[in-house]
DNA sequence: ACCTGAACACCGTTCAAGT
DNA sequence: ACCTGAACACCGTTCAAGT
């Protein structure tokens, strides 16, 4: 040991700012998503955030894909799931899914980015452990190993799909959708387009085009669901579906 | 009527190729996805495909977002769902979902594009009619109107989520994943990274890292699921979950 | 060893000009 | 009326050069 040369530490600062690392760059990318949309996350904007030139990032990550992979790994490692108790498995699974949903929503766009960049290489040990635990939970509930694996994948996909396809529209309404429209049934994307912007669906006096869509029309009389209520329904379906399988 | 000037038709051809229209441009975008990935669909590549300059597209669509909206509308209008029979509702719902899955897969990337571009404005009348019919089906099965709406959304989200998060990796394996790895359990994204590329998970002789993940390790002994089998499991969960709700 | 600045090949979009 | 070509402000990435 003493024959080794004195360990030369890499400097911790440079020009007054902490030295970059592979992890700190990935961390910055993940945090960036808390303030901006995924489309705004570019090598240049991230470099500007960090106060360096875009070229500097390439000393720590291979390319943009690699950067997003590091961010995805940090994202995975960040989550500490609640305890799972197969004794009260229904409520336990619900809590688990609610926590998982909150985690996905906490860094909005991370899943979308992973999707568009086809990132399947972020396999953080913490995530593998979480998945392993969840599979064990489903076995304890009464599923075969194979079904437990399937149920685990189904659970994750349900939560991720809900956040990406449902929550994202409510949490960050796109420029072209009126937030007030989200608080009504049916949601904007199930309302007929008003022809030529002349009085359409929302008109108080009954108008023609609705006649063809009787069930959608009747939805207008209902109080709208909050995203949380809708998610609770999804969980009901999942839980009872698994219960039927375990029986 | 006869006082109207003679209707001047717009020319149907120009320079030997059919004149572009808003619809034909959107159609070309949708068809483009059958041959290329969504990331390759650019204004320039599409224009090259059509044999025009990129600028020409802007005579028919406002911008890239608008182009993708037209493509999404065509995508929605293209689907003719199978008949729904509430008399044999379980098998009927299964067939419906299988057909819907096939539709999503037929133009891979369309949903991903709609997601990244936040397109919620594609509301083709055909799609609204299909949704309306599905809600009516769930009411006939025994759900309240509110639950029927929720079940309809849940069904669509389940199928879309399955295609985007599961099928896409099998149908178009990204460059960095070995297709042979997809035919094994656990899937690549649940296998521990081999440390420094030295013998890792796949090793015949038992190695350390697996000891910590007992359930994932036992998965290796199982024959892998085909995507179709995995989808059938998802449908089982959905159908029995809805059955419990309808009771 | 780590950074910057300039450059390259792309992208969406717009302008001025052609026919 | 509809198109092209050149241009602008972006993007990811690379090269040569600085300290």
Q: What is the pLDDT of residues B160-205, one digit of tens each?
A: 999 999 999 999 998 888 888 999 999 999 998 865 443 333 333 3
Determine the distance between A123 (CA) and C2 (C1') in angstroms.
29
* A residues 161..220 contacting B (CB < 8 A): 161-162, 164-166, 169, 174, 176-177, 185-186, 188-193, 212-216, 218-219
Q: Residues A92-112, buried b or exposed e (16+ Cβ, 10 A)?
A: bbbbbbbebbebbbebbbbbb
Please name the helix (run of DSSP H) or strand (run of DSSP E) that holds residue A77, with its range, or none.
helix A64-78
Which distant-in-sequence residues (6+ apart) come within 8 Å of A119 by Cβ?
Answer: A65, A68, A69, A72, A113
- For A157, the closest of B128, B161, B239 (CB atoms) is B161
Q: How far is the CA of A57 from the C1' of C1 (A)?
A: 14
What are A14's strand-pairing partners? A17
Q: At what angle do helices A145-162 and A227-246 cross, to 10 degrees?
A: 170
Q: pTM of the predicted model, to two decimals?
A: 0.90
The pLDDT score that the predictor gives to residue B207 is 40
Closest approach of chain A CAs to the CA of B76, in angstroms?
12
Label residue A175 exposed, middle or buried (CB < 10 Å: 0-12, 13-18, 19+): exposed
- 20-49 in chain A: CB under 8 A from chain B: 38-39
Q: What is the pLDDT of residue A19?
A: 79
Residue A129: per-residue pLDDT: 95
State the CB neighbour count (10 A cutoff) for residue B103: 18
CB contact under 8 A, B120 and A225: no
CA distance linking residue B50 with residue B29, whole number of Å: 10
Packing angle between helix A43-50 and helix A64-78, nearest 10 degrees?
60
Q: Using the beta-carbon criterion (under 8 Å), do A131 and B38 form an inter-chain contact? A: no
Q: Which of B125, B176, B219 sits opposite A149 (nearest CB)?
A: B219
Nearest to B154 by CA among B247, B69, B235: B235
B-contacting residues in A 97-136 (Cβ below 8 Å)? 112, 115-116, 118, 120-123, 125, 128-129, 131-132, 135-136
Q: How do the pLDDT tens digits run along chain B, 247 residues long? A: 333 333 344 556 655 566 789 999 999 999 999 999 999 999 999 999 999 999 999 999 999 999 999 999 999 999 999 999 999 999 999 999 999 999 999 999 999 999 999 898 888 999 999 999 999 999 999 999 999 999 999 999 999 999 999 999 999 998 888 888 999 999 999 998 865 443 333 333 334 445 589 999 999 999 999 999 999 999 999 999 999 999 8
Residues 6 or more apart in contact with residue B83 via CB below 8 angstroms: B92
> Are the Cβ atoms of A237 and B212 closer than 8 angstroms?
no
Per DSSP, what are the bridge partners of residue B17?
Answer: B14
Cα separation, A26 vs A47, whole angstroms: 12
The C-alpha atoms of residue B24 and residue A181 are separated, in whole angstroms, by 31
Q: Do B128 and A213 touch (CB under 8 A)?
A: yes
Take residue A182 and report the two structure tokens written for it.
Answer: 């989200």
Instruction: Give the helix/strand (H/E) hosting A32.
Output: helix A22-35
On the 0-12 / 13-18 / 19+ scale of CB atoms within 10 A, B245 is buried
Q: What is the pLDDT along chain A (247 residues), one digit of tens a residue?
A: 333 333 334 556 655 566 789 999 999 999 999 999 999 999 999 999 999 999 999 999 999 999 999 999 999 999 999 999 999 999 999 999 999 999 999 999 999 999 999 898 888 999 999 999 999 999 999 999 999 999 999 999 999 999 999 999 999 998 888 889 999 999 999 998 865 443 333 333 334 445 589 999 999 999 999 999 999 999 999 999 999 999 8
* Residues making up chain B, counted from first to last: 247
Task: Assess contact for B109 and A116: CB atoms under 8 A.
Answer: no
Residues 38-57, chain A, CB closer than 7 Å to nucleic strand C: 52-56
Q: Are A154 and A230 in contact (CB under 8 A)?
A: no
* Sign of the dihedral through C-alpha A149, A151, A155, A158: positive
Does A166 contact B176 at a Cβ distance shorter than 8 Å? no
Q: Are A244 and B243 in contact (CB under 8 A)?
A: yes
Task: Tell me if A141 sits within 8 A of A246, measured CB to CB.
Answer: yes
């Amino acid at each position: 040991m003493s024959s080794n040369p004195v360990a030369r530490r890499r400097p911790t600062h440079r020009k007054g700012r902490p030295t970059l690392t592979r992890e700190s760059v990935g961390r910055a990318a993940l945090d960036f998503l808390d303030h901006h949309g995924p489309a705004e996350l570019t090598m240049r904007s991230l470099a500007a955030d960090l106060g360096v030139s875009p070229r500097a990032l390439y000393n720590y990550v291979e390319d943009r894909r690699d950067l997003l992979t590091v961010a995805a790994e940090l994202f995975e490692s960040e989550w500490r799931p609640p305890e799972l108790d197969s004794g009260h498995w229904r409520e336990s699974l619900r809590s688990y899914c609610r926590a998982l949903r909150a985690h996905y929503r906490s860094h909005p766009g991370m899943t979308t980015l992973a999707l568009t960049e086809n990132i399947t290489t972020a396999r953080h040990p913490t995530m593998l452990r979480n998945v392993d635990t969840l599979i064990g939970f489903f076995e304890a509930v009464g599923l075969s190993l194979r079904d437990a694996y399937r149920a685990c994948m189904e659970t994750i996909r349900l939560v991720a799909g809900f956040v990406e396809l449902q929550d994202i529209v409510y949490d960050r309404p796109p420029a072209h959708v009126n937030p007030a429209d989200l608080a009504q049934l049916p949601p904007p994307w199930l309302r007929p387009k008003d022809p030529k912007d002349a009085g359409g669906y929302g008109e108080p006096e009954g108008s023609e085009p609705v006649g063809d869509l009787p069930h959608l029309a009747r939805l207008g009389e209902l109080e709208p669901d909050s995203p949380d209520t809708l998610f609770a329904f999804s969980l009901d379906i999942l839980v009872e579906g698994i219960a039927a399988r375990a029986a």
